Amino acid sequence: MNQLLKDILAMTKQYSNNAVKVSSIEDVDIAVFTFSSTLEKFFELSAPSKNLFENLFVSLEVNYEEDLFEYEQVYDFQEKHILNLTKEIKFKISINKRLRFNLDENVFIFFTLDSFIKSFDTVNFNFFKRINEQKTVVVHIPIDTESNNEYLLLKPLESFTIHNASDLSDPIKEEGARLIKIREETSRLLTAVPIPHFFYFQNIDEELKMWHESNLFYSSFLHLSNKIVDRKITIRGHKNTEIELENNFFPVNASILYSIFKFSYEEKHYSDKIEISRNILTLYLNSNETVKKIDELLPKIYKTITSHFSAYIKDSIKKFFSERKDVIKEAHKFASDLRGEADKLQTYINTSLIGIITAVFSGALGLSRGERWFLLVAFAFHCIYFAISYFINGNYVRKKSDDIIKLYDDYTAEFVVLDDNDVADIKKTYIEPSMEGIEHYLRRYRNITIWLVTFMLVLILTGLFLPDNYFSAVKLGDADSVSVTQDTYNQVP
């Protein structure tokens, strides 16, 4: 229980019940109470409030015949019979609520509902800049029953117990961040605009009904607009419409506008929904319309928005299936092109394998002629040929495959109706298997090329280290054969 709060409430109630005129000026932080009565009545009623008047945290001034006195001076003068007890006086009590009640952030006290309503207004952006959006907001006000939602707790002031703000749950934080992100993407509203959920209560104290409806209406309306300047809302849709926000406006259909907001800000298709809502709103409204007229038309507007979106979805579904069919058809074509590149790789592999035969024949020719250099050059040329062929052919196929994939991605990017996941599924089904085939043949081509180059190097090293007499013997054998043939020719008569 907060004793200072209890003393202030007891004092204001006591003076009000005894026909003392009480007025107040109050903002978020400061409360000033002014009482008008005779000096005699002041002394009569002040005894129970003596502890409050002597509280160092409270400032008390007494205005007597245009002179200001402090509380102790008035009592001194009264004991000396200096003051006229029948004279009208005003005494003023001031208190810094935030400091003297030691209020945590997001915690507020209002002694009058009017002060609360003035501060907790959708377009009071300077106030909402002070709010920590990660915590609940707790407000102690003169109501009979407690009201609350996920964001705002309204407590009866006479409970005398000041509650601190608690952290919002993670799902509520995520939902709030999602709504703010959509608002930033689709409008130029200030960041201090409270989300409509902040003002939505399923059950609320009867005295706050009008406040609830008005703020729910305006916060929802702001989130469907493009911008606000000097209490003038601009909506750009079928045409540009400007709406002036009115004070003391109490709508009938705020819950319908809140439903339009929720519908428009749903996770799926929010951009299209917001655009449709703006188009329909401006279609129903004149260039400069009153909020009262909007409130009257809301049932029709909501029905038109939902029906238009249903028609839009039907058209989108038709377009979706048409575009999906086209994309699958093109995916088949691109996959066929990729398989063609895989076939080329198979041809390159076969050509390389045939190169072994030419290398062997070239080596055999070198051996048959007894020429070491011929054998080595033949093997070296084949080694270089295998390496360069792989480098050129492999790079060509990779580039051609990348070009085909890029063409496919550019083609599918034009189909805005298709979801990215659906495009990805089509690509996974038709394109990726062909790409995997190319990668498989590229790996095989690389491995075969490495094997062929290694084999050629082994043959070259073998040719280098063969004994010279081996090649000489081959040459000598050839010379003897030629000599025998010549002798035989000479012996013929």
- Token pair listed for 194: 């409270």
Please give the C-alpha separations between residue 184 and each of 257, 260, 282, in angstroms, as whole numbers: 20, 18, 21
Which residues on adjacent β-strands are paired with residue 31? 26, 95
* Dist CA 384 CA 436 (whole Å): 28
pLDDT of residue 317: 44
- Token pair listed for 192: 């201090």
In the 3-class helix/strand/coil scheme, how is 344-360 assigned residue by residue? HHHHHHHHHHHHHHHHH
pLDDT at 75 over 90: no
- Token pair listed for 273: 């929904």
Q: Greater confidence, 400 or 107?
A: 107
DSSP assigned state of 167: B
Q: Greater confidence, 111 or 312?
A: 111
Beta strands in 237-366 (DSSP E): 240-244, 288-289
Average pLDDT over residues 368-389: 70
Beta strands in 267-316 (DSSP E): 288-289
Per-domain boundaries in the chain: 3-100, 107-289, 317-481
- Mutual orientation of helices 372-413 and 432-465 as an angle, nearest 10°? 170
CA dihedral 308, 312, 317, 323 (to 10 degrees): 170
Average pLDDT over residues 394-410: 71
CB 338 within 8 A of CB 434: yes
pLDDT at 287 over 70: no
- Residue 13 φ/ψ, nearest 5 degrees: -65, -40
Burial of residue 242, with CB atoms counted within 10 A of its CB: 0-12 exposed, 13-18 middle, 19 or more buried:
middle
CA nearest 198: which of 219, 227, 224? 219
Q: Greater confidence, 105 or 493?
A: 105
